[in-house]
Amino acid sequence: MTSRTTWTAAALRAWLRRPWLARIGVVVFLLGVWEIAARWLIDPMFISPPSRVFMSLDALLETRGVPAALRVTFWELGIAFVLSVVIGLVIGLPLGLAPFARRSFMPIILLLYGTPQVTILPLFVLYFGIGPASKIAFGVSHGFFPVIVTIVAGVQNIKPILLTSARSMGASRYQILRHIVFPHMIPSFFAGMRLAMTGVLLGVLLAELYVSTAGIGYFTTLFTQSFDPTRLLGLVALLAAMAIVLNEIVRRAEVHFSRWHSE
Amino acid sequence: MNASTERRQRLASRGVQAAFLIVLIALWYVATTRWRVSPLLLPNPVPVLSDFWEVLTTGEFIDDLRVTLSELAAAFVIAACGGLIVGYLVSRSHYRIRVFEPLFAAVYSVPIILFLPLYVLFFGLGPASKIALGASISFFPIALSTIAGFGYVERMLVIAARSMGASDYQLFRYVLVPAALPIILTGMRIGFTVALLSIIGSETIASLAGLGHRIVHLAEAMEMTRMFAYIIFVVAIAAILNALVSALEARVRRAR
């Protein structure tokens, strides 16, 4: 009887020590600290407890213009992502396949990739206006470099023996592309898409925060200046959720499509 | 392929790079002089270069540069200390790694620049909000790489050192640190780059001083020539800083 109870106690302790449970515990603990600090310790002009932020999410969504702003940001992210991937492919594939072009232009691309583009953010606004076009363009400027870099690396990493044997068996250029280059590029292509999503999120949100007349940047500025932390936190939380969902979709796709290649 | 063809190819690549640059500048020049692109959109390269020279020689950049660099230094030091300590503490047990690593990775995947309005609300428009934002953004790659570095040291090495009677300090100094250092250094370089980016970014969006603020100020005043000169200056500073950090990283890697 006693051995039985000790067994269940040990099992209970093992069950309690599961990492995901502790992870939830950490998050709940942090939310609790935030709740207590916001309710009793910090000036309510600056922070609002998570319970109130959550409760007023529907009030936020009823604020005139906020749903439209979220929709606009979502479309900006989507269009910038698609454009980044297409541009990255169009530049990356030829660069990866032609060694001379690669050696000539890759250093330039890596140099551009390494510079903080945010210094030319005012130029994007000047050229593309303060509407969605400048956000999309700025997002693309962050998104297409990682696609190029990973595509080039992916094409470069194809084992030469595969290309040589295909050629010696008389494969045409199209057949080599279709049956060797494309299948082997898929893992790096999806890795590039994941990095592109990170870059596009950064670029579009930076541009939104910098200048915006109806997008989420307008509302974050408005809520900051009117000391309305409840709605500001709610809006930021919604955007963070959007970013997490988009990142997760791309990451899942990467894991899914790279499986065949992993062994 | 023999050595001389290889060298000829490398020279040809350099030639293509130089030609690309020259064509770009020539197009810029022709666009402003012949094709009548408005100087409000694209100023002529010659005055831009003379402005750049003026900015360099008069030293008017010093105040803004000092603000940006001190923000960067403070943010990076905070992030490095915090990231190294937290990362090391987490890496000491497999259980803690499994609890905290996914949490950090999840937060790292959110674009933290989103929280800039909150930082401005809490810390004001001055340097404090930039330091806090830069430190929080660069904390995550440093902490994650510290966990990866210390957490996955081969057990064989640890057991061997222990069985030969290594003390805790000796184990740390001669086994753990050399094994973890390369990964940590990569994380610190990434942390530095994102700190620089987020500090210039937050100066661009909301600030009172600094290089990012100067560029926005000139853009709003429509002083395009001066603004292009400053853009060249900031890009050069960023390139120099990144090169310095990479060189430092390579140096530490060799000396370990």
Comparing B135 with A189, which gets the higher pLDDT?
B135
Residues of B in contact with A202 (CB under 8 A): 111, 113
Chain B CB within 8 Å of residue A239 CB: yes
Contact between chains at B205 and A209 (C-beta distance less than 8 A): yes
Kindly state the average pLDDT of the residues B223-251: 85
Helix (H, G, I), strand (E, B) or coil at A116: coil
Chain B CB within 8 Å of residue A44 CB: no
CA distance A128 to chain B (A): 11
Tens of pLDDT, residues B140-185: 999 998 988 888 787 788 888 888 888 888 888 888 888 888 888 8
Report d(CA A90, CA A145) in Å as an integer.
12
Residue of B216, B165, B50, B122 whose CA lies nearest to A118: B216
Give the confidence band of B32 by pLDDT, cuts at 50, 70, 90. Answer: confident
Taking the CA of residue A222 as centre, how many other CA atoms within 13 Å lie in the half-sphere pointing to its CB?
A: 15
Contact between chains at A19 and B212 (C-beta distance less than 8 A): no
Tens of pLDDT, residues B136-145: 999 999 999 8
Question: For position A259, what pLDDT does the model report?
Answer: 67
Residues of B in contact with A244 (CB under 8 A): 106, 109-110
Report d(CA B237, CA B231) in Å as an integer.
10
Q: What ranges do the domains of chain A cover?
A: 2-41, 57-261
Query: Taking a contact as any Cβ pair under 8 Å apart, which residues of chain A between 53 and 92 contact chain B?
Result: none
Residue of B148, B149, B205, B219 whose CA lies nearest to B177: B149
Comparing B87 with A56, which gets the higher pLDDT?
B87
Tens of pLDDT, residues A102-127: 877 888 888 788 778 888 888 888 88
Question: For position A140, what pLDDT does the model report?
Answer: 92
| Cβ–Cβ under 8 Å, residues A135 and A215 | yes
CA distance A22 to chain B (A): 6
Helix (H, G, I), strand (E, B) or coil at B126: coil
Best of B7, B121, B223, B234 to disrupt the A interface by mutation (most A CBs within 10 Å)? B121
Cα angle B207, A41, B116 (rounded to 5 degrees) comes to 25
| Number of neighbours of residue A247 by Cβ within 10 angstroms | 18
Report d(CA B255, CA B64) in Å as an integer.
35
Residue of B186, B182, B179, B199 whose CA lies nearest to B135: B199
Question: For position A7, what pLDDT does the model report?
Answer: 64
Average pLDDT, chain B: 83
Across the interface, of A205, A223, A224, the residue whose CB is closest to B111 is A205
Report d(CA A258, CA A211) in Å as an integer.
39
Contact between chains at A47 and B122 (C-beta distance less than 8 A): yes
Residues of A in contact with B16 (CB under 8 A): 104-105
Has residue B21 got a pLDDT over 70? yes
Chain B CB within 8 Å of residue A148 CB: no
Chain B CB within 8 Å of residue A21 CB: no
Residues of B in contact with A220 (CB under 8 A): 117
Across the interface, of B41, B121, B235, the residue whose CB is closest to A224 is B121
Provide the CA A77 distance to its chain's centre, in angstroms: 10
Question: For position A137, what pLDDT does the model report?
Answer: 92
R_g of chain A, CA atoms, integer Å: 25
| Cβ–Cβ under 8 Å, residues A235 and A201 | no
Question: For position A263, what pLDDT does the model report?
Answer: 41
Kindly state the average pLDDT of the residues B28-53: 78
Sequence-ordered list of residues with C-beta below 8 angstroms from that of B146, at least 6 positions apart, any chain: B83, B84, B86, B87, B88, B91, B180, B184, B187
Residue B96, both tokens: 């803690």
Has residue B11 got a pLDDT over 70? yes
Residues of chain A with pLDDT under 70: 1-7, 16, 259-263
Residues of A in contact with B118 (CB under 8 A): 229, 232-233, 236
Q: What percent of chain A has pLDDT over 70?
A: 95
CATH topology of domain A57-261: MetI-like fold (1.10.3720)
Chain B CB within 8 Å of residue A29 CB: no
Contact between chains at B106 and A126 (C-beta distance less than 8 A): no
| Cβ–Cβ under 8 Å, residues A182 and A100 | no
What is the complex's ipTM, to 2 decimals? 0.79
Kindly state the average pLDDT of the residues B111-121: 83
Give the start-end residues of each E strand in chain A. none
Contact between chains at B111 and A243 (C-beta distance less than 8 A): yes
Residues of B in contact with A227 (CB under 8 A): 121
Question: For position A6, what pLDDT does the model report?
Answer: 59
Report d(CA B217, CA B230) in Å as an integer.
11
Helix (H, G, I), strand (E, B) or coil at A247: helix
pTM: 0.81
Tens of pLDDT, residues A135-151: 999 999 988 888 888 88
Chain B CB within 8 Å of residue A225 CB: no
Across the interface, of A17, A26, A126, the residue whose CB is closest to B41 is A126
Across the interface, of B13, B16, B110, the residue whose CB is closest to A240 is B110
